[in-house]
Amino acid sequence: MYQIGEALIGNGNEIAHIDLVIGDKNGPVGAAFVNNMSNLSLGHTPLLSVVRPNLMTKPATLIVPKVSVRCLDDANKIFGPAQTAVGRAVADAVEEGILPKEDAEDMVLIISVFIHPEASDYRKIYQYNYGATKLALRRAMEGYPSVNKVLAEKDRGAHPVMGFKVTRLWKPPYLQVALDLDNMQEMERIIDSLPDRERILIEAGTPLVKKFGVGIISKIRELKKDAFIIADLKTLDVGRVEVKMAADETADAVAISGLGTQESIEKAIHEAQKQGIYSILDMMNVDNFTEKLETLNLKPDIVLLHRNVDLETMKAERGEEQAAMTEWGNINQIKDILGDNGLVAVAGGIVPKKMDQALDSGADIIVVGRYIIGSRDVRHAAEDFLEKMPQDPDTMRLALDEDESI
């Protein structure tokens, strides 16, 4: 057996990122240790960690540079502050009981170290790498993170090096603003006026897509780089092709028409899964949409329901139970069919005074068009809905609270 640890500490060019593995000398880690020492690669020559020249650490630790060492200046950063930081962190970990002292002669460590070529502050290189190494060792020995921790955090975090955040729908409800427009300038005005809130989803409406093509999604992305963007394609046929086209333009979700055949719907959903984006099944004008949903072998991520007065009337005429019915149908039944992670969106002339009814019915996404895009004050119109929703999920979360609790 062996343990794996990781930690990132610091900022700027001196930022430290440590990956490490701990294991027995006679196990796979021991074999990898020897292989790394004897199979050298240009620019990534491994070195033993020392607390000072002529005094290597125990357990024996091999440092492997992640970034190519191309000159003596690069080598000095590795052989100086980084090597010392790792060596002292390992020694302190033994002294503090993070690593068992009685096993120090029997285990080995392999530690990958990141040193930016433009890092220049040796004090920070030492400090950040010392902290990151020690933290990674503790995490490895404690088995951090747990699977539950990963699942709880996977849709929340933003990687600092990426430069943008991938928005996921992990904490409903959300407000979907439907840009059913045919005017680029008006679209830009509305997007610029919307509040900067995680709970807002932006829909490239069918008129926009038809007039400007799926490239309109990339245009919206330029205006709101972190937005969750929905391509309302209402795909009926050749779903694979259309879904891929939208994904290539960085759409986060694609709307598929529920009027399509089972085969075409499932192909579109499959392509969305393949592309890593959400599939939305739009049930506009679909009769018996619960039956349609049940027949699908591949279920969508989201089902979009429209206000259905005819369904209410039909149920009443048949004398069927309507206790669980809403203006949009039986939302709870739809969720049962979709499973634990399925979401339901509702649309159809929704105004702020109907928000409570929609949310109380179990809706996860409220789709609004004219009330917002037709308003002279777009921001205020959107806030009429947002004020009935909770704060954005991480508004009150303190920095670094995503890491270990104490």
Q: Using alpha carbons only, what angle is made at residue 358 by residues 355 and 359, rounded to the nearest 5 degrees?
A: 85
Percent of the chain with pLDDT over 70: 93
CATH of the domain at 113: 3.30.230.60
The reply to whether 223 and 310 lie within a common domain is yes
198-212, 301-315, 385-399: which is most confident: 198-212
Q: How many CB atoms lie within 10 A of CB 343?
A: 21
- In a domain, residue 400? The reply is no
Mean pLDDT across the stretch 198-211?
Answer: 96
* The total number of structural domains that make up the chain: 2
pLDDT value at 158 more than 80: no
Mean pLDDT across the stretch 184-194?
Answer: 97
- In a domain, residue 401? The reply is no
pLDDT value at 406 more than 70: no
The residue ranges of DSSP E strands in 218-277, in sequence order, are 228-235, 253-257
Mean pLDDT across the stretch 180-205?
Answer: 96
The reply to whether 91 and 197 lie within a common domain is no
pLDDT at 314: 53
The reply to whether 281 and 331 lie within a common domain is yes
The reply to whether 344 and 226 lie within a common domain is yes
Q: What are phi and psi of 262, to 5 degrees?
A: -55, -40
Is 306 among the catalytic positions? Answer: no
The reply to whether 103 and 203 lie within a common domain is no
Mean pLDDT across the stretch 129-140?
Answer: 98
pLDDT at 312: 46
- In a domain, residue 152? The reply is no
For residue 39, give its domain range. Answer: 2-146
The reply to whether 78 and 203 lie within a common domain is no
Mean pLDDT across the stretch 10-39?
Answer: 95
Q: How many CB atoms lie within 10 A of CB 5?
A: 24
CATH of the domain at 254: 3.20.20.70
Mean pLDDT across the stretch 389-402?
Answer: 75
The strands making up 16-24's β-sheet, listed across from edge to edge, are 2-9, 16-24, 107-113, 60-65, 47-48
Residue 151 assigned to a binding site? no
Higher pLDDT, 400 or 397: 397
Residue 391 assigned to a binding site? no
The reply to whether 272 and 353 lie within a common domain is yes
161-191 in b/e form (b: 16+ CB < 10 A) is eeeeeebebeebbbbbbbbbbeeeeebeebb
- In a domain, residue 397? The reply is no
- β-strands 55-56, 278-282 pairing: unpaired
- β-strands 278-282, 47-48 pairing: unpaired
Tokens 């409903």, residue located: 172
pLDDT at 325: 47
The reply to whether 201 and 74 lie within a common domain is no
- In a domain, residue 321? The reply is yes
pLDDT value at 215 more than 70: yes
Higher pLDDT, 237 or 290: 290
Residue 176 assigned to a binding site? no
The reply to whether 127 and 220 lie within a common domain is no
Percent of the chain with pLDDT over 90: 80
pLDDT at 205: 96
Mean pLDDT across the stretch 27-50?
Answer: 92
Contact present, 334 and 344 (Cβ < 8 Å): yes
pLDDT at 323: 45
Residue 48 assigned to a binding site? yes
pLDDT at 309: 44
Mean pLDDT across the stretch 25-34?
Answer: 96
pLDDT at 395: 73
The reply to whether 217 and 130 lie within a common domain is no
- In a domain, residue 46? The reply is yes
Distance CA 225, CA 222 (A): 6
pLDDT value at 87 more than 60: yes
Mean pLDDT across the stretch 295-320?
Answer: 74
The reply to whether 44 and 180 lie within a common domain is no
* Among 17, 44, 116, 380, the one annotated catalytic: 17
The reply to whether 195 and 137 lie within a common domain is no
pLDDT value at 400 more than 80: no
> Where on the phi/psi map is residue 26: left (φ > 0), alpha (ψ -120 to 50), or beta?
alpha
User: Is-cis flag, bond preceding 173, omega within 30?
Assistant: yes
**Which two tokens mark 315?**
């149920």
